């Protein structure tokens, strides 16, 4: 599915970084940052342009190829890993920050992934996330069509163990990110630090 979606000259989610990420960049410690499900690389390239050592992981080799070329055009480099988040090894004490922007995966995968985030971060490491909530269903402005793939505050509090939240809120906002994320949206935003 994702290879087909990314197989176009257009950047389907745009080339600008996610607003929430850009507005909260100062929350991420400088150093090694992992951007999960980064697709065509707009967020990873943005982070690299700000001086971060960026690794992006995605299930689509077409998306990652576009991300590498996008990084080159912006005069930066990013590390890319082709992997499914269901079996991707986050490592231990590896990352100063992990960024998850609209990375919607099956609940079982998400619970396993979120359980490994705190140990994979260095002490003081930060996890930054924006995702759609179940209230997004039926809006036609982006995101998956099933509640199982969507997030809210309660799910984040229960699944993201070993983390202290400095920001956790559900809200409606305009999301203008390319063809597939355009319009009024119901989202959850989180910034959490390894406890």
Chain-centroid distance, C-alpha 142: 15
Whole-structure pTM value? 0.96
Give 55's strand partners. Answer: 34, 79
Residue-by-residue DSSP string for 140-181: SSSS-SSGGG---HHHHHHHSTTEEEEEEEEEEEEEEETTTE
Name residues of the chain where pLDDT drops below 70. Answer: none
Helix/strand/coil for 77: coil
Q: Convert the pLDDT of each residue in 122-179 to its tens digit.
A: 999 999 999 999 999 999 999 999 999 999 999 999 999 999 999 999 999 999 998 8
d(CA 103, CA 157): 17
Residue-by-residue DSSP string for 98-141: EEEES----HHHHHHHHHHHHHHEEEEEEEEEEEE-GGGTTSSS
d(CA 107, CA 139): 21
- Given a contact cutoff of 8 angstroms between Cβ atoms, the answer to whether 41 and 56 are in contact is yes
d(CA 127, CA 159): 13
| Whole-number pLDDT of residue 70 | 97
> Residue 98 belongs to a domain with what CATH number?
3.40.50.150
Provide the residue range defining the domain that includes 31.
Answer: 2-194
Domain count, the chain: 1
Measured CA to CA in angstroms, residue 78 lies from 7, 57, 116, 153, 176 at distances of 20, 10, 23, 31, 24
């Amino acid at each position: 599915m994702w290879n087909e979606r990314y197989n176009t000259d257009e950047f389907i989610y745009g080339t600008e970084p996610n607003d929430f990420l850009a507005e909260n960049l100062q929350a991420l410690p400088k150093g090694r940052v992992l951007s999960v499900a980064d697709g065509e690389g707009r967020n990873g390239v943005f982070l690299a342009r700000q001086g971060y050592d960026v690794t992006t992981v995605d299930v689509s080799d077409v998306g990652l190829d576009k991300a590498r070329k996008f990084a080159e055009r912006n005069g930066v480099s990013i590390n890319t890993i082709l992997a499914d988040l269901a079996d991707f090894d986050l490592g231990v004490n590896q990352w100063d920050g992990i960024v998850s922007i609209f990375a919607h995966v099956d609940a079982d995968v998400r619970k396993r992934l979120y359980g490994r985030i705190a140990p994979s971060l260095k002490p003081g490491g930060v996890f930054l996330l924006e995702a759609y909530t179940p209230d997004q269903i039926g809006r036609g402005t982006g995101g998956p069509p099933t509640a199982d793939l969507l997030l809210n505050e309660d799910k984040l509090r229960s699944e993201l163990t070993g983390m202290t939240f400095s920001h956790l809120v559900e809200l409606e906002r305009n999301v203008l990110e390319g063809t597939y994320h355009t319009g009024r949206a119901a989202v959850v935003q989180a910034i959490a630090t390894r406890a």
